[in-house]
């Protein structure tokens, strides 16, 4: 199966290109929208994208119908006896030794051409059998055979579209078997993305149910299945007193930089009154780093060195709509540090704590991080950083399934504030399936 994507201003033009490439037997697999080519294509009306293919097995049907029967002892219809008749005519000419003029030979050729359908072909056993013109049917001579080939071709196309790879040359004739193969390819894709093994069987079974219903390519079904399992994060309701958002997490995941991105977005882009509070007095120069951001943005910054100072610090920021709290990185195995974090959060009152972790975190480590921070902090959401530093995105799904909390934001670089976006279910699913969001 050959598959190619064609982009054109209209769908008729895209179909014309597909037929020019693959011939009249081109199979249309999927249609959709595409960005217009060119540097400023995104500013102009979009074009149409058509994914089409050609099944090599079906493309060869016409050739097979015109070929003579290969088995000499079986009476297979479908091959004219012209080659045998010509050979006999040539042998008679040699034996007779008669010389004819060009006009006589031309006349004899016309007579032979009219007589060919009535001639008989010699079989290997010495007998003769009548040779009839080939019927315009599929290989095997029946319409059901052609339908089976087309069904197998459609299922094989599903495998190709689902995986982005050529389907196996040796493919089962049964459509269900080919759909199972497509599902296995997609589940293997999730395994390579480091989705936890405990979730793969469930995802595979759910995906197979969707694929059997048809309507879309298997990969599109997988996108929907995954997107449905990413719950949406609730928007931050600002305006009724300070909305306090502590950022917690292990060391080195980029909490301070993420806080600066959020502060810039809400203060400069959205025009909200934002205040900063830090209780990270352990890391060298942590306070100075945050103070630099606060000075650039002209935002108030208060430092609390002990849990007892937290309430007074929040009082100083009472006129702010949003208070972002930077906490020290904690090892989930350090019980004393985790207990201190719990004390700090308790002094803040009604808070909306978000766990920050890196997309490069191993699955086993992420399991421990979520388990420990969930025990010591009332988590409301997740923030995933450093998506630009990995090619495996299984942590997105694993974290949501284990914590039961939505992903609120993801970061894709160090630039402030550009490299932070609100998490979207379809976008998160596309990372896992391998489609650029």
Q: What is the pLDDT of residues 54-76, one digit of tens each?
A: 766 544 444 444 444 444 444 44
**In whole angstroms, what is the distance from residue 228 CA to residue 220 CA?**
13
Same domain, 264 and 208: no
Residue 51 within any structural domain of the chain: yes
Give the CA angle between residues 288, 294, 296 to the nearest 5°.
Answer: 105
Q: How many domains does the chain have?
A: 2
- Has residue 352 been placed in a domain? yes
| 312 and 253 in a common domain | yes
Percent of the chain having pLDDT more than 90? 36
pLDDT in tens, 86-131: 444 444 444 444 444 444 454 454 545 444 444 444 444 444 444 3
Whether pLDDT at 37 is above 80: no
Task: Tell me: do 157 and 216 sit in the same domain.
Answer: yes
Report the pLDDT value the prediction gives residue 397, as an integer from 0 to 100. 95
Residue 396 structure tokens = 């997105």
Quickly list DSSP for 282-347: SSTTHHHHHHHHHHHHT--EEE-SSGGGHHHHHHHTTT-SEEEEE-----TT-HHHHHHHHHHHHH
311 falls within a domain: yes
Same domain (yes/no): 253, 369? yes
For 437, the token pair is 């969001």
Q: Assess contact for 410 and 421: CB atoms under 8 A.
A: yes
Mean pLDDT of 308-332: 90
- Residue 46's pLDDT band (cuts 50, 70, 90): confident
Instruction: Answer positive or negative: Cα dihedral of 257, 258, 260, 264.
Output: positive
Residues 316 and 174 in one domain: no
219 and 312 in a single domain? The answer is no
E-assigned strands of 9-84?
27-34, 47-54
Q: Are residues 279 and 366 in the same domain?
A: yes
Three-class SS of residue 51? strand
Whether residue 134 lies inside any domain: the answer is no
Is 78 within a domain?
no
Do 255 and 213 share a structural domain?
A: no
What is the span of the domain harbouring residue 181? 2-59+144-228
Per-residue pLDDT at 323 = 95
The span from the CA of 376 to the CA of 382, in Å, is 15
* Res 55: pLDDT: 62
CB 43, CB 120: distance < 8 Å: no
Looking at residue 71, its pLDDT comes to 43
136 domain residue, yes or no: no
* Among candidate residues 303, 305, 355, 350, the one with its CA nearest the CA of residue 332: 355
Query: CA geometry: angle at 269 spanning 265 and 270, to 5°?
Result: 95
Rg from Cα positions in the chain: 35
Q: Which two tokens stand for residue 61?
A: 């049907």
User: What's the confidence (pLDDT) of residue 396?
Assistant: 95
Looking at every residue in the chain, the average pLDDT score rounds to 76
H, E, C per residue of 164-183 = CCCCCCCCCCCHHHHHHHHH
Domain boundary among 198, 228, 258: 228
291 in Cβ contact with 278 (< 8 Å): no
This prediction's pTM = 0.61
Query: What's the confidence (pLDDT) of residue 105?
Result: 52
How far is the C-alpha of 174 from the C-alpha of 327, rounded, in Å? 58
pLDDT at 142 over 70: no
């Amino acid at each position: 199966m050959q598959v190619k994507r064609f982009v054109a201003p209209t769908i008729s033009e895209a179909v014309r290109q597909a037929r020019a490439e693959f011939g009249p037997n081109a199979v249309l697999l999927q249609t959709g929208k595409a960005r217009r080519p060119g540097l400023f294509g995104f500013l102009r009306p979009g074009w149409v994208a058509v994914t089409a293919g050609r099944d090599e097995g079906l493309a060869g049907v016409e050739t097979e119908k015109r070929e003579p029967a290969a088995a000499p002892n079986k009476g297979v219809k479908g091959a004219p006896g012209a080659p045998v008749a010509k050979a006999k005519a040539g042998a008679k000419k040699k034996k007779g030794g008669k010389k004819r003029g060009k006009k006589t030979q031309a006349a004899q050729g016309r007579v032979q051409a009219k007589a060919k359908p009535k001639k008989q072909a010699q079989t290997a056993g010495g007998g003769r059998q009548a040779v009839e013109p080939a019927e315009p049917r599929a290989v095997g001579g029946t319409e059901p055979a052609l339908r089976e080939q087309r069904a197998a071709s459609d299922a094989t196309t599903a495998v190709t579209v689902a995986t982005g790879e050529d389907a196996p040359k040796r493919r089962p004739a049964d459509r269900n078997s080919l759909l199972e193969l497509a599902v296995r390819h997609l589940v293997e894709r999730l395994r390579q993305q480091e989705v936890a093994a405990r979730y793969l069987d469930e995802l595979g079974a759910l995906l197979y149910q969707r694929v059997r219903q048809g309507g879309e390519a298997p990969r599109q079904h997988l996108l929907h299945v995954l997107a449905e399992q990413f719950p949406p994060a609730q928007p931050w309701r600002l305006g009724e007193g300070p909305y306090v958002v502590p950022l917690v997490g292990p060391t080195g995941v980029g909490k301070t930089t993420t806080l600066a991105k959020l502060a810039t977005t809400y203060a400069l882009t959205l025009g909200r009154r934002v205040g900063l509070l830090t209780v990270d007095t352990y890391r060298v120069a942590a306070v100075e780093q945050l103070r630099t951001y606060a000075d650039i943005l002209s935002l108030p910054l208060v430092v609390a060195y002990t849990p007892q100072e937290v309430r007074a610090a929040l009082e100083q920021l009472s006129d702010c709509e949003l208070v972002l709290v930077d906490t020290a990185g904690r090892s989930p195995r350090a019980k004393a540090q985790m207990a201190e974090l719990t004390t700090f959060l308790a002094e803040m009152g009604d808070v909306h704590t978000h766990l920050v972790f890196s997309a490069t975190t191993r699955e086993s480590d992420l399991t421990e991080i979520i388990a420990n921070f969930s025990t010591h902090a009332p988590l409301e959401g997740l923030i995933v950083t450093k998506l630009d530093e990995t090619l495996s995105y299984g942590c997105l799904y694993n974290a949501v399934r284990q914590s039961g909390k939505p992903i609120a934001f993801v970061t894709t670089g160090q630039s402030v504030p550009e490299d932070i976006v609100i998490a979207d279910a379809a976008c998160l699913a596309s990372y896992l399936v391998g489609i650029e969001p």
